[in-house]
Chains A and B, each alone.
Chain A
Amino acid sequence: MNEILARCSSVGVVHRQGTARVHALRNVDFDVRADDSVALLGRSGSGKTTLLHVLGGLVEPTSGSVEWRGRPLLSLDAAARARVRARGIAYVFQGSNLLPYFTAYENVAFAAHLSGSGRDPDRLLQLVGLGGKGDNLPAELSGGEAQRVAIARALAQAPELLLCDEPTGHLDSDTGERVLDLIEALQKEFDFALVVATHEAAVAARMRRAVELHDGRIVGEDVAA
C-alpha cells in the first residue's frame, strides 16, 4: 500500500454568512495516497471545493485535523504552508485562474520559480500542446487553452498531489474530454496523486476512487476494481 499523502480527520468547516452559520463540511474523514486518483462527486454546495481547499491548506478547518505526509498542516505557519503548497500540492481551478498580467510562459515559470522545481516552462507548454502560445496573455487564449496552461503551471510545481476543481466545468464536452485525457496521461508520466472535484458521474468514473459528498458529509465511496 502506498503512503498516505494527505489525511483529513473529523474535519468540519463552518462559514459565517451574516448571522447565519453554514456547515460546508461536517465530520469528514478522508485520505489520499501517493499515485491515487480520487473523484469528489457531489452537487453544488455539497462541500467538494471546500474539501479541496482544506487539503491544500487554503482553508483552515473549524474542527478536526489535516495532515500532510503525517504532519499536522495547521501546526505550520502561513509561510510554511505556502512552501508545502509550492513544492507538493498543485491546483487546477474551474476557471483556470491564470495570473492575468503574466503570459502563458510566465504563468508556468512563476509556479516553477516558487516551487524551485527547475522544470522548463517551454517543455511543459509543449507537453500540453501549447508550444507556440507561450507569449500570449491569458486574455488571448481560449477556455481550453487556458485550462491546459493551468495544467502546465500545476506540473511546473512538480506536485505530489494535484487538486482539480471542476477542471472541465467551463469547457464544452469535447474539450473537456481532451483536458481529462491530458491530465490522466500526465499523471502516468509524472506520477502524482490526483483528486478531482466534479458533479459529473462520467468524470468520476475515470478515477480509481469516487467519494460522494452531500451537505458536507461523505455519503459513499466507490473503488474501482
Chain B
Amino acid sequence: MSALVRLALAGLVRAPLRTTVRALSLAAAVALLGAMILFVGHSLRTMSAGAVRSVPIDWQGPVGSYRAATGVAHGVARQPGVLEAAAVATAGFAGTAHTGAVGLVNSGAGSILAVPPGYDSHINTFRLLRGAFASGSVVLDQQLAATLQAQPGDTIGLTPHAGAKPLRFRVSGIALVTAPDVLFQPLNPLLGPAPAQPPANVVLMPLATFAHTVAPNLASMAASQATLALPGTQTGVQWQVQAQVDPLALGGSPTHALLRATQIRNAVERSLPGQVVFVDNLADQLNTAAGDALYAETLYIMLAVPGAIVALLLAYLAALGTAERDRRDLALLRARGATRRDLLALVGVESVGLGLMGGGIGTALAFVAVHLAGSGAGIGTGRVVATCSICVALAIAGAAAARIAATVGALRGTVTEGRRSARRSERPLWQRLYLDVMCLAVSGLVYWLTVRTGFSAVVNPDSNPTLSLSVYMFFAPALLWIGSALLLVRLRGGALAFVARRAAGARATTWPSFLLASAGRRGAALNRGLLVIGLLLAFGVNLGVFTATYDQQARIDAQLTLGADVVASAPPGAVRSKGVDQRIARVPGVSGTTAIDHTYAYVGPDLQDTFAIDPATFTRGTTLRDSYFIGGTAAQMIARLRAHSDGILVSKETITDYSLSIGDLLKLRLLDHRTGAFSVVPFHVLGVVQEFPSAPRDSFMVANLGYIARATHDSGPNIVFAKASGDPAQVAQRVAAATRADGTTVRDIRQQAAQTVSSITTVDLGGISRIEEIFALVLAAAAMGLFVAVALLERRQELATMAALGATLREIAAFLWSEAALVLAAALALAALLGWLLAEMLVAMLQHVFDPPPDHLAAPWLFLGGLAGAAVLGAAAAAALAAAGISRLRLGAILREE
C-alpha cells in the first residue's frame, strides 16, 4: 500500500500543471457549495436578529394588581436571559376634553398606557416627540393632541368611564405610539398574541400617577379574567408585566432562537410559580421567521445545488484531458501485475490528495467570496471547520468519480479489456428505459399541475415552523435538470454534429468545410463541452432571471405595502391647506407626486378602506401593475376612473358578496364631515381591483378623489405618494425635513422592506445570488477554457500531423476555436431555453408567495450579457493559449506517439 501511496503522490507531483488544473476545477465546484453553507448560516442568523428586532414587546404577562405587577416585574428582571422587565398598566377611558383657543374640544373613548420611569430605554412601543413624562401629568398621542388641539403645558380633562367625574391632568408631552395593536391587545396566555384594532385615542402617563389617580376609578382585571377578553372590549385596568429578552441570548437560526426564547420563558415562569404566565409575542414572531428560514434554505438549495453539481463536471472535463495517458498508465500497471483493487486504491489515494488540495482551496475561496458579499461577519470556527470538512469530502468524491469515469476502460475486468480504449458497445440501462424522456415528461406534467391547479408553496405562520410545500413541486425543476442532462448525454452532440456536417457538405474541399467536417464527426467531444458549458450557463441564466424576478417582487411587495417609494402621512387638512404635496414635488430627488385620501365607507354593513385618488396624477406618484386588476390593465382601469367621476373599483369579494357586475350602481355610506352623519353616495362599478398601493389585503375600494371630496366635504387628501429618482431613504429624509413643520410622518420603501418580516420575499437573496453569479461567470469562463485545453490535449497528435502536412499555426488553431465557437453558440441557445424554463418553474412554484404575483419574469440583461461575455472571453483566452500551446508542441515527440 505504501508503494501505491508513493506512486500516486509522485504522479501528482510530476505533473504539476495537470494536478493544479484538476485541483482548481474541484476547488471552484466545492467553493460554490461552501459559500452557500457559510451564507445560509449568516442569513439565518440575520433573519433571527431581524425577527427579534421587529417585536416591540417580547412578553406580556397579565397580573391582578399594581403590587403584583411591580413585584413580578422585579422578579422577572433578575432572571438570566432577561434584558428588562417593567410593570405596566392599560385601561380604557370614556373621553377627554380640552378648552383651547377654539373653545371646548371633546374626543371619543380611548386607552391609557401607564409605564414606569425608564420604560422606553429597552421597550420601544412609543416615541416621545415633545416634552417628557412628569409625575401627575399625561403625555398625549399626537393624533389625540391634534384632535384636542392641546400642547404641552395645557390641561385636559379625562373621564375614566361613562358617568364618572373627569380627572384633570397637565399635558407634559406629545408622543407617537408605534405599537398600539400589541400594547392594547387582550392578554390571554393560552390563546397567545392577538394584536387588536388600535384605539383611536391614547393617553400615556407615569404608572404611579395612574395607580393613584385613574386606577381607583376602575375595576382591575384579574389575570385569569383576560381569558375572556376580546379585542377592543377592555373594561377595567389590565395590570401586566412586560419584558424584553436579551438579544445576545438568541443566536443562531430562527428555530434555534425560538427554542432558546421558549427555554428562557419557561425558566422565568417556573421561577415565579403561579405569579405570571406570559403572552409570548417573541415566540410568535420567531415561529414565522422559522417558516421563512425553511423557505430560504429551500430556495438556496434549489438555486445553488444544480450549479455546484454541474461545476463538478468541470473536474471530469479536467480529468478527460489526460484520460488517454492515464488509461495507458493504469493498463501498464495492470499488465505488470497490479490488481483492479490496487488500481482503485491508487485512484483513491490520488483523489484524497487532490480532494485535500481542492477542498482546502475551495473553502478559502468560499470564505473570501462570502466576506466580499458582506455576509462574512460572525462566522464561527465550528461552521468553518464543518464547511471545510464538507468541501474536502466532496472534492475527494468528485476527484474519484471524475478519474474513474475518465479511465473506466483501464479498470475493467481483464487486462486485455483494460488496454482497449474506452468504448461502450451497449447502451446503458437508463437509455434503454428512456429515463431522460420520462424525466422531462414528468417535469412538464408537474409544472402544468403547478400552473393550472395553483399547486404551490404556502408558509404556515400559525403553527410550528413548517412549510406547506408539496414535495412534488420541486420535481419539476429537479427533473428538468436531470432530464436535460441525460438527454444531452444520449444525443452525444448528434444534433450539433448533424448541423455541422450538413453545413460542410458531402465532401470537404474548402477551408470552412474542413473545419465543419471535422467538428461534425466530433459530436461526442463537442457534447461534453455542450453538457458542461450549456448547463453551467443555464444555471447562470436560471439564477439571474429568478433572482431578478425575486428582487423585483420584493420591491413591489414593499411598494405595495407602503404605497410608493416615499410616503408622507399628513394631519387632516394639511395637504390642501399647506400645499404639502406641491412642496414634496419640489424636493430634489422626487420625480412625481400624487395625493390621496385614505378614508372608509360602508358597503352594506361592512366598513371598507376606501382610497380616493386623482387618476390624472396617480401614476406620477406610484406604480401600478396589471396584475393588481382583473378584467383590464392598470392603464385601462385608471382611464375608466378618469372618464367616470362616480366610478369605483371594488374587490372581487365585494363583487361576489353583493352579486355586482361591471356598470352596476353601488350605494355606499360615507361620513359627511359637514353634518357629522353618514350619507348615501351613489357610485358605478368600473372594475375589480385585487391589490392597490398601501391597501390592506382584504376588501377595499378605489374611487375618484374629487367625487368623494364633494360628497363628504372632508378636508382633502391625507397621504402623499412620491416617486424617488434617487435613493428613497435619502429622498425621504429630505421630504421629512421639508414637511416636518406640517406634522407629517415620512416613510420610505427601504424602511418598509426591512420591516416586512411576514413575507418570503424579505428573505435576502442578494448576497448568495451575488456569490453564485460571480461563480457562474468564473465557471463559465473556466469551462470554455477547459474545453479548449482538453481538445488540444486530446488532438495533439492530429494537430502535429497537420503541422507536418504544412498547416500553419493559425490554420491549426482554427480547428480548436471553431469548435469552441460552435459549442458556445449551442450552449448559449441551450442556456437561454433551459435557464428560462427553470426560472419560470421556480417562479411558478412561488407564485402565491409573491404579493402580487409577477406579471412577467425580469431579465437581468447586464448579468446575462456578462455571462455570455465571460464564456466568450474564456473561449477567446483559451483559444489564444491553445495557439501558444500549439506553437510549443514538440512535434517530433508527438508524431512518434502511438
Interface residue ranges, A against B (CB under 8 Å)? 15, 49-50, 53, 56, 58-59, 78-79, 82-87, 90-91, 93, 95, 97-103, 105-106, 109-111, 113-115, 134-135, 137, 153, 157
Within 8 Å by CB of A153, from B514, B798, B805, B891, lies B805
* A58 lies within 8 A of B798 (CB): no
Q: How far is the CB of B349 from chain A (nearest CB, A)?
A: 23
Residue of B509, B522, B809 with most partner-chain A CB within 10 A: B509
Within 8 Å by CB of A106, from B507, B802, B807, lies B507
A98 to B892, CA, bound (A): 16
B259-317: which have CB < 8 Å to A? Answer: none
Contacts of A79 in B (CB 8 A): 808-810
* A58 lies within 8 A of B507 (CB): no
B504-560: which have CB < 8 Å to A? Answer: 507-511, 514, 517-518, 521-522
A78 to B510, CA, bound (A): 23
Q: Is B803 an interface residue (CB 8 A)?
A: yes
* A103 lies within 8 A of B507 (CB): yes
* A53 lies within 8 A of B887 (CB): no
A91 to B802, CA, bound (A): 11
* B514 lies within 8 A of A97 (CB): no
Contacts of A90 in B (CB 8 A): 805
Q: How far is the CB of A57 from chain B (nearest CB, A)?
A: 9
- Given A93-B804, A101-B798, 18 more A-B residue pairs with CB atoms under 8 Å apart are A50-B892, A53-B892, A56-B804, A59-B891, A78-B809, A79-B810, A82-B803, A97-B804, A97-B895, A99-B802, A102-B518, A105-B507, A106-B507, A109-B507, A114-B811, A115-B806, A153-B805, A157-B806
A87 to B508, CA, bound (A): 20
How many A-B residue pairs lie within 8 Å, measured between CB atoms? 92
Contacts of B891 in A (CB 8 A): 53, 58-59
Contacts of B807 in A (CB 8 A): 82, 86, 114
* B508 lies within 8 A of A83 (CB): no
* B806 lies within 8 A of A101 (CB): no
Contacts of B803 in A (CB 8 A): 58, 82
Within 8 Å by CB of B805, from A49, A105, A111, lies A111
Q: Is B432 an interface residue (CB 8 A)?
A: no
Q: Is B125 an interface residue (CB 8 A)?
A: no
Q: Is B339 an interface residue (CB 8 A)?
A: no
* B522 lies within 8 A of A101 (CB): yes
Count of residues in B whose CB is under 8 Å from the partner chain: 30
Q: Is B896 an interface residue (CB 8 A)?
A: yes
A90 to B804, CA, bound (A): 8
* A97 lies within 8 A of B806 (CB): no
A103 to B797, CA, bound (A): 17
A98 to B798, CA, bound (A): 8
A137 to B745, CA, bound (A): 81
* A85 lies within 8 A of B804 (CB): yes
Given A100-B798, A106-B517, CB of A58 within 8 Å of CB of B892: yes
Given A78-B809, A97-B895, A110-B514, CB of A91 within 8 Å of CB of B804: yes
A49 to B896, CA, bound (A): 8
* A87 lies within 8 A of B896 (CB): no
The 10 A-B residue pairs whose C-beta atoms are closest, nearest first, are A86-B806, A85-B806, A59-B892, A101-B521, A53-B892, A101-B518, A58-B891, A97-B801, A82-B808, A114-B806
Within 8 Å by CB of A83, from B517, B518, B806, B896, lies B806
Q: How far is the CB of A211 from chain B (nearest CB, A)?
A: 19
Q: How far is the CB of B359 from chain A (nearest CB, A)?
A: 31
* 10 pairs, CB–CB < 8 Å, chain A vs chain B: A58-B892, A59-B892, A95-B898, A97-B804, A101-B522, A106-B508, A106-B514, A113-B509, A114-B811, A137-B521
Contacts of A53 in B (CB 8 A): 891-892, 895
Residue of A53, A91, A103, A113 with most partner-chain B CB within 10 A: A113
Contacts of A157 in B (CB 8 A): 805-806
Which residue on B lies nearest to A111, using beta carbons? B805
* A109 lies within 8 A of B887 (CB): no
A49 to B893, CA, bound (A): 10
Q: How far is the CB of A105 from chain B (nearest CB, A)?
A: 6
A83 to B507, CA, bound (A): 24
Which residue on A lies nearest to B504, using beta carbons? A106
* B805 lies within 8 A of A114 (CB): yes
* A78 lies within 8 A of B805 (CB): no
Contacts of A113 in B (CB 8 A): 509-511, 514
Contacts of B808 in A (CB 8 A): 78-79, 82-83
A144 to B58, CA, bound (A): 90
Which residue on A lies nearest to B508, using beta carbons? A106
* A82 lies within 8 A of B806 (CB): yes
Which residue on A lies nearest to B519, using beta carbons? A101
C-beta contact mask, B431-469 vs A, less than 8 Å → 1, else 0?
000000000000000000000000000000000000000
C-beta contact mask, B878-898 vs A, less than 8 Å → 1, else 0?
000000000100011101101
Which residue on B lies nearest to A53, using beta carbons? B892
A103 to B518, CA, bound (A): 10
A135 to B507, CA, bound (A): 8
Contacts of B514 in A (CB 8 A): 102, 106, 110, 113
* B801 lies within 8 A of A99 (CB): yes
A146 to B510, CA, bound (A): 23
Contacts of B518 in A (CB 8 A): 99, 101-102
Which residue on B lies nearest to A150, using beta carbons? B801
Contacts of B507 in A (CB 8 A): 103, 105-106, 109, 134-135
Which residue on A lies nearest to B815, using beta carbons? A101
Q: How far is the CB of B350 from chain A (nearest CB, A)?
A: 21
Which residue on A lies nearest to B893, using beta carbons? A15
* B895 lies within 8 A of A58 (CB): yes
Contacts of A56 in B (CB 8 A): 804
Within 8 Å by CB of A86, from B510, B521, B805, lies B805
A137 to B521, CA, bound (A): 10
C-beta contact mask, B775-816 vs A, less than 8 Å → 1, else 0?
000000000000000000000011001111111111100000
Contacts of B509 in A (CB 8 A): 109, 113
A100 to B521, CA, bound (A): 9
Contacts of A84 in B (CB 8 A): 806
A48 to B858, CA, bound (A): 67
Contacts of B893 in A (CB 8 A): 15
A147 to B403, CA, bound (A): 35
Within 8 Å by CB of B508, from A49, A100, A109, lies A109
Contacts of A153 in B (CB 8 A): 805
A20 to B780, CA, bound (A): 41
Which residue on B lies nearest to A114, using beta carbons? B806
A105 to B517, CA, bound (A): 12
Within 8 Å by CB of B797, from A85, A97, A106, lies A97
Q: How far is the CB of B801 from chain A (nearest CB, A)?
A: 5
Q: How far is the CB of A51 from chain B (nearest CB, A)?
A: 11
